[in-house]
Amino acid sequence: MHSLPRDERFQYDRRSEEILGETLAAFAGFDSSRLDPTEWKFLARREQITVHRAVSATRQGVDSGLYVEDDNELLATQAILNPSGCTAVDAAVLMIAERRQVRATPFRFAGVKWYSWKKNVNVGSPNLSIGEGQECDLLTYERMGMALAEESNKEGSQELAYHVILSLNKPEWPLDVARGPGLRRADMAFCFLFRKVCEDLVECFALVDYDSMTMARTSRRQSSQDLRQRVIKKWAAGMSERKIGRHLDMPRASVQTIIRFQKKHGHVN
């Protein structure tokens, strides 16, 4: 059984509130016409996507699709979220401190999750690149919920869904998984905001704080590409609601995703 002491959980909750506050503040002051290109990156605008099930592009649909508290669903989601060139190995929900109530709080969660993936080997390459074929994992404390945010150049506030993901430094977790000598943990913090723009447009606004030195010791450019793919695929997973079925094109569904990267300690080449 995995459990966190009360003081540890309080620390993670406080950090979650801090990065949520930072993200809400960045969102409130966001002006796409006055962006610093070294700090902000526009990820994608998709006017047509292929999904597993025809769903409306509503924020409620995204919320439902992203909510996971089951090991099998988490692993299935990871298979979708992993960047190109990576394979999901395992995933588990290790602890649930708060869970949703379908009517009152349908997008509420607090707990610990674990993800493991491997960077695929390039069969045609004579030499392995750094980190290729190596297994990596991420242990996270996650919070989901709703928040009110002010929008730049607009009066009033809007309700947003948020998803905070904090990496945990607990090398002994999961308790029942053998630790290989080459296994490295990524160190990062994510905060995703999902807001309804109109009936068929949901916007994802994300703030990422990460140390790319722990991300397979690859270049900053490659680390950023992997993170951008993970953000885009996270939205796609929400839209598909993890329903496996026939593939349907949904021209009406569109998304705007904008992300800011904040490098943590360490120098990156």
Q: How many domains are there within the chain?
A: 1
Residue span of the structural domain in which 217 resides: 6-119+132-173+194-263
pLDDT band at residue 240, thresholds of 50, 70 and 90?
very low
Residue 207 inside a domain? The answer is yes
Residue 14 inside a domain? The answer is yes
Residue 187 inside a domain? The answer is no
How far is 1 from 11, CA to CA, in rounded Å? 21
pLDDT band at residue 14, thresholds of 50, 70 and 90?
very high
Residue 127 inside a domain? The answer is no
Query: Which tokens go with 105?
Result: 């709080």
Q: In this predicted model, what pLDDT tens digit does every residue of 174-196 receive, in sequence order?
A: 887 766 665 566 677 889 888 87
What are the DSSP calls for the chain, one per residue? -----HHHHHHHHHHHHHHHHHHHHHHHT--GGG--TTTEEEEEEES-EEESS-----HHHHHHHH---SHHHHHHHHHHHSPTTEEEEEEEEEEEEE--BTTTBTT-EEEEEEEEEEEPP-TT-SSPPTTTT-EEEEEEEEEEEEEEEE-TT-SSEEEEEEEEEEE---TT-STTS---TT-EE-EEEEEEEEEEEETTEEEEEEEEEEEGGGSTT--HHHHHHHHHHHHHHHHHHHHHTT--S--EEETT-EEEEEEEEEE-SS---
How far is 129 from 254, CA to CA, in rounded Å? 35
Residue 85 inside a domain? The answer is yes
Q: In this predicted model, what pLDDT tens digit does every residue of 126-142 receive, in sequence order?
A: 555 545 567 778 899 99
Q: In this predicted model, what pLDDT tens digit does every residue of 204-220 receive, in sequence order?
A: 788 887 665 554 444 44
Structure confidence at residue 52 (pLDDT): 28
Residue 252 inside a domain? The answer is yes
Q: In this predicted model, what pLDDT tens digit does every residue of 83-96 receive, in sequence order?
A: 667 888 889 999 99
Are 159 and 106 contacting, i.e. CB atoms less than 8 angstroms apart?
A: no
Residue 268 inside a domain? The answer is no
Residue 77 inside a domain? The answer is yes
